[in-house]
Copies of this chain bind each other. A is one copy, B any other.
Amino acid sequence: MEPVDNRAVVDLLGALAYAELTAFDRLAEDARLAPTLAGRAALARMAAAEIAHHSRLTDRIADLGIDPATAMAPFVSALDAFHNSTRPSTWLEGLVKAYVGDGLAADFYREIAAFLPPADRALVEEVLDDTGHSDFAVREVRAAVSANRKLVGRLSLWARRLVGEAMSESQAVIAEHDRLAELIVAGTGDLGGVAQLIDRITSAHTDRMKTLGLNP
């Protein structure tokens, strides 16, 4: 395997840093949909964890001699577009997005991070580590869908929309960033490797849907 282009590392860290910043925003916004003060605080804590990760990533980008804002800039419009097109209208939609959407994104970043030099790989794995807050989302959604079976279809459809939007935005990002595309192809070996990567991500997504009591 060839040595990784340092700019590809910055691209990945920049994308992830902006993803964490938008995740903060969105979780903070969705917290206001919470039916209880405890739920509101739980989502606020998830948001706080994201911004701590954001800071770790921007510190590393700065260490690599790049201005973090510059590294994040190329990913702002795609990530904003994703969040604008998938704004939850209910508390449960917000939780499904937090669990299913973030899970999918985390798997994707983790797969690419496997091709990075060890220190950066370790950093990405650390910031993607589940902070245990997702247990809260699972508990709330499971309880809601078992109390009201009508929600299963509605929330499953919502999750499929999230995945569709996420796929189309990430394809657009990769298409515009040759270094990221090269990193993925070089890392997986060939197109067969890319297909396996997609299979792994899809299968983990299916598991998450089942965990929530939804139809994959």
Contact = CB atoms under 8 A, between A and B. Distances in A.
A48 interface: yes
A97 interface: no
Contacts of A45: 51, 55
Where chain A touches its partner, the secondary structure class is helix
Interface stretch (A24-32, A98-106, A115-123): A24-32
Contacts of A51: 41, 44-45, 47-48
A97 to B, nearest CB: 17
Nearest to A48: B48
A147 interface: no
A58 interface: yes
A37 to B, nearest CB: 5
Interface residues of A, number: 27
B41 A55 contact: yes
A31 B69 CA distance: 15
Contact of A31 (B25, B31, B76): B25
Interface in A17-53: 18, 21, 24-25, 28-29, 31-32, 36-38, 40-41, 44-45, 47-48, 51-52
Given A36-B69, A48-B48, A69-B36, A41 B54 contact: yes
A28 B47 contact: yes
Contacts of A29: 28-29
A55 B47 CA distance: 14
A72 interface: yes
Contact of A28 (B25, B41, B58, B76): B25
A48 B38 CA distance: 16
Interface string A62-74: 0000001100110
A40 B72 CA distance: 13
13 contacts: A21-B41, A24-B31, A24-B44, A25-B28, A28-B29, A29-B29, A37-B72, A38-B69, A41-B55, A41-B58, A44-B47, A48-B51, A48-B52
